[in-house]
Structure 1
């Protein structure tokens, strides 16, 4: 199961008795393999591995790029890998990168590809990929059958260009906490490959302040050697995990990228309820700098490939399950606390957490090439506690539990550098959460908005970035039928000009998946996916029945995107 610390459990996290469900939230190994084997058996009796995939857009390099240059980074098998050291391999920048000039700015697109297969009986497991301690990918494995399963993930890792191009030797580490027994026989075999594309023409040595890849990435994770993943484990609401970091004194921008996943007693955290809000479904990951709140992330309710019923996620897996979303927190306004050359503590906690959450982070830093030190200071800071409400209505059998939450956070600070002058950055976060649980249904929506506005010494805006993410989830149990509808809606708008902005000024992603399975029957699924941006578009509409695709239509033709004008390939 995706929580490796509870790998011997046959059932995970049953819905509490007062909101009892017709089903548990996971199947036993025997039921699991029976259902998967029956679903994957073709009418003609042929057998073979099932290819499972997460709907995503194809990754294209910018026009005029050369490549790809492909390098196999690691091949490993994960059998009895629980509480064992990660698989590791030495990493040095590929020769083709040196031939392209060796600079991170020469990379137009970097793609990390994960390919894996498994045959036998096995739970879904969580895995992570780290380079030099910085996490590049976290995902859930596909859940196999006796005939086998195969899947792949291609992730855009261009934002880690400085890490990929860094000189010297580093270590690539992969942890997949698998466990074998007489009932669990599946061994996961995985390959990790890096594909690089390069600009054909010389590019500016300094990327723009707003959207260029960071000059330095500082991992905020546990270091090797260890017999586990490099993530920190948060076991309860009072548990705070922390790391010490020392920033270069010439940093002028800082963004913390959070990796988050939930397991064990909190794998289905959105089904929790109780007499108070502390016992309910509300969860937030908080980040503190030297004990002071620096921002938060409200998690997407990713359903792993064994969640509810594995037939729901074959061959189209759940949104975000193969490539879990990450969460960015702008720390630039707080640089005044961090640029003194001394070590500082970054702390992580999860509100109302139960055992166990895996959290780590990457600190993306932009450095001033013109001086050894920048100066910074805090202008304003507003961080009231999250507002939560919890109520219940109805009788003992038809009880309805309703939970809401909201939070606002704002920080403003200035940074003075020799290359960019005096820049004031105002960062805001606004969250809203609504969850309703009854005997037969769960309905939840999380909305996260973030804004970053940078102004120059004259008060004129240099750039403004606005993002909004919505995570809807609906689960229904009706007469032996399970239906799960979930998705992701995300928009990002950049305004600004000249050297302060690059990349698409607008991008939007909207994807919705509806999956249904009846008892002793095959599952079916339909997913719509649409991505629109100022530089390209992609849409796909795919439907499955059993383990087979029955309809699949895709297009890269653009339409008019809201707020973006006519966008073209």
Structure 2
């Protein structure tokens, strides 16, 4: 089986040389080979291996599936298709003024792979400067990426940075001949301190245009601001950091500012010194996975590859963990949500409803306040990132959010307790030839407690994480069918107290995933592939303290199925349909959406923002998967 992507960041040089040699001489101007797309290359090699007779050794493919372009369905009179990711609308706080909007950057991304990012000077929008002069503050900041493209092109990963701090990680949509439109809006209010200082905007979207892949992405990046007319209340003042330090690569670069993690031994780091009056610190981590690890959750263990004489496929098993260290201390871990990009599995699944998290990739917070006692010495400290079992390539960077004591030039602290047992990882497998099953399970606990003394008093902070993981990969019909069932269960919490509970936050997330892929009707160099995907997020958040109480519940369930006819590694026909149910209930409001699409058209779309009890919403959620 292969979970197929019509577009994949071919960042592995060996992979690219096999699959797309012409671009090496014609397009690449960097030391790294030209990129073919943001997902997996060797996936297709895996598919070929599973189609071969038992015990056969696969022959490396010389081509890859191109982005789907069913010319027979093209109608020049059709308007461009609008793609979208289902999420709740971003609403300004009551009583806020705005919006005022500023265009930050406008650009076209065609021959951009291996070239420097597009940059533009960032100056405070006039309305922000005026609001600050009048004693007002940012109530809401929204970064909007809007883009269009026409023709044929792979999906591409891209990032947006302000003064080295990443604000958005996203994937482009795959265009159609009649054109596509899409936009992404991200709440960037937490970067208020960064937005209030001059800087530089950088956007990297590596793209290649040639005689076959003609799509150029035209995009605008806009900032929308809303303001509190009066000075913020104390809880608003403490909500967002006073200083944000980027943990990323610095310009100039011929790439994004992210770190590229190539394998399980590759560790990337950056040295930082933090201000001596810091009293709270949170690390926000951006992650995306590509090439051989785009579908890491489908990868077989190396023993399976070796037993079947298959050497050209991604391996290292189906478990990945991002480990974050400060100096030599593991301060947290990330078990990432399985984002499927817009060219993944079957590109027709994601037209026009894109995969969960594909347009606005999730970020992950790790509270490192308990470790501040080790960091307040004025010296530089190493912030490290690694990925357990990684294959080429993972893009990782981070923003360090710092809260500063305005009434003191020096805070102090100490780590009281710290417990990070070794990762528990187990793989059980039973195979006979290309058929069989391997089951991977894992668990991890992280906890740390420390105190910091500032003008706010002596505050004891505890941060903890608890993870569990199970992945089942079953192969049948001589390797022609693969079924993946995976579940990630993640709990995290922060408690801050000075005798009175100042803050209590707990988050419980469950990421279910089901992938079916099978091939049939093989005649010479032609066959059919059927795919079924189910994924989603089930999340509970609860927080409380001296400033109030809030909670929320999110159930986001997406399912899709599709088929393709493949001839000589080209998709000559196909269809796809997707259904998604999104349900959010919180003290800040509610939002519900039930939407379905088929073959690039929306079949039905129902939404509302009421919080009615006993409504049809009550039975929709993960059970609908």
The question of a shared fold, defined as TM-score above 0.5 by the shorter chain, is answered with yes
**Contact persistence 2:544–2:550 (CA under 8 A):** yes
Q: Offset of 1:490 from its aligned partner?
A: 1.9
* RMSD between superposed Cα atoms in Å: 2.4
Q: 1:32 aligns to what SS in structure 2?
A: coil
**Contact persistence 1:19–1:399 (CA under 8 A):** no
Q: Offset of 1:27 from its aligned partner?
A: 13
1:227-376 to 2 correspondences below 5 Å: 227-274=254-301, 279-376=316-413
Which residue matches 1:565? none
1:443-522 to 2 correspondences below 5 Å: 443-456=485-498, 459-477=499-517, 480-498=529-547, 505-519=550-564, 520-522=573-575
Q: 1:333 aligns to what SS in structure 2?
A: helix
**Contact persistence 1:104–1:161 (CA under 8 A):** no
Correspondence for 2:188 among 121, 139, 157: 157
Q: 2:415 aligns to what SS in structure 1?
A: strand
Q: Offset of 1:96 from its aligned partner?
A: 0.5
2-side partners of 1:528 and 1:369: how far apart?
A: 45
Q: 2:210 aligns to what SS in structure 1?
A: coil
Q: Offset of 1:559 from its aligned partner?
A: 4.0
Which residue matches 2:478? none
Which residue matches 1:564? none
Q: 2:337 aligns to what SS in structure 1?
A: coil
1-side partners of 2:250 and 2:326: how far apart?
A: 20
Q: Offset of 1:2 from its aligned partner?
A: 4.5
Q: Taking structure 2 as the reference length, what is the TM-score of the superposition?
A: 0.83
**Contact persistence 1:249–1:339 (CA under 8 A):** yes
Is the counterpart of residue 556 in structure 1 residue 609 in structure 2? yes
Q: 2:359 aligns to what SS in structure 1?
A: coil
Which residue matches 2:145? 114
Which residue matches 1:423? 459
Correspondence for 2:593 among 540, 549, 554: 540
Q: Offset of 1:208 from its aligned partner?
A: 5.6
Q: Offset of 1:71 from its aligned partner?
A: 0.5
**Contact persistence 2:296–2:318 (CA under 8 A):** yes
1-side partners of 2:512 and 2:65: how far apart?
A: 32
Correspondence for 2:98 among 67, 88, 92: 67
**Contact persistence 1:143–1:306 (CA under 8 A):** yes
Change (3 A) 1:462 1:19: farther
Which residue matches 2:426? 389
Q: Which moved more, 1:504-513 or 1:65-74?
A: 504-513
Q: 1:399 aligns to what SS in structure 2?
A: strand
Change (3 A) 1:72 1:526: same
Q: Offset of 1:28 from its aligned partner?
A: 6.7
Which residue matches 1:32? 67
Which residue matches 1:79? 110
Which residue matches 2:310? none
2-side partners of 1:82 and 1:374: how far apart?
A: 45
Q: 2:152 aligns to what SS in structure 1?
A: coil
Which residue matches 1:213? 240
1-side partners of 2:381 and 2:106: how far apart?
A: 37
**Contact persistence 1:105–1:205 (CA under 8 A):** no
Q: Offset of 1:437 from its aligned partner?
A: 0.9
Number of residue pairs aligned between Structure 1 and Structure 2: 544
Q: Taking structure 1 as the reference length, what is the TM-score of the superposition?
A: 0.91
Is the counterpart of residue 98 in structure 1 residue 151 in structure 2? no
**Contact persistence 1:18–1:396 (CA under 8 A):** no
Correspondence for 1:202 among 231, 237, 244: 231
Deviations 1:228-279 (A, max 9, x none): 1000010010001000111011110000000000111111111112156992
Q: Offset of 1:393 from its aligned partner?
A: 2.3
Is the counterpart of residue 131 in structure 1 residue 162 in structure 2? yes
Q: 2:429 aligns to what SS in structure 1?
A: strand
Q: 1:301 aligns to what SS in structure 2?
A: coil
2-side partners of 1:12 and 1:148: how far apart?
A: 29
Q: Offset of 1:118 from its aligned partner?
A: 1.1
Q: 2:540 aligns to what SS in structure 1?
A: strand
**Contact persistence 1:376–1:414 (CA under 8 A):** yes
Q: Which runs of 5+ in 1 are unaligned?
A: 562-569
Q: Which moved more, 1:284-293 or 1:319-328?
A: 284-293
**Contact persistence 1:112–1:193 (CA under 8 A):** yes
Correspondence for 1:3 among 1, 4, 9: 9
1-side partners of 2:551 and 2:63: how far apart?
A: 45
Correspondence for 1:20 among 50, 62, 74: 50
Q: 1:34 aligns to what SS in structure 2?
A: coil
Q: Offset of 1:481 from its aligned partner?
A: 2.5
Q: Which moved more, 1:144-153 or 1:326-335?
A: 144-153
Q: Offset of 1:346 from its aligned partner?
A: 0.4
Deviations 1:486-531 (A, max 9, x none): 1112221002123xx5xx6112221111111123342111100011
Change (3 A) 1:266 1:21: farther
Q: 1:279 aligns to what SS in structure 2?
A: coil
Q: Which runs of 5+ in 2 are unaligned?
A: 1-6, 17-34, 53-60, 305-314, 476-481, 521-528, 565-572, 615-625
Deviations 1:421-470 (A, max 9, x none): 000001100111111111231111111110111110xx332221001122
2-side partners of 1:32 and 1:48: how far apart?
A: 20
**Contact persistence 1:102–1:165 (CA under 8 A):** no
Q: 1:100 aligns to what SS in structure 2?
A: helix
2-side partners of 1:198 and 1:526: how far apart?
A: 37
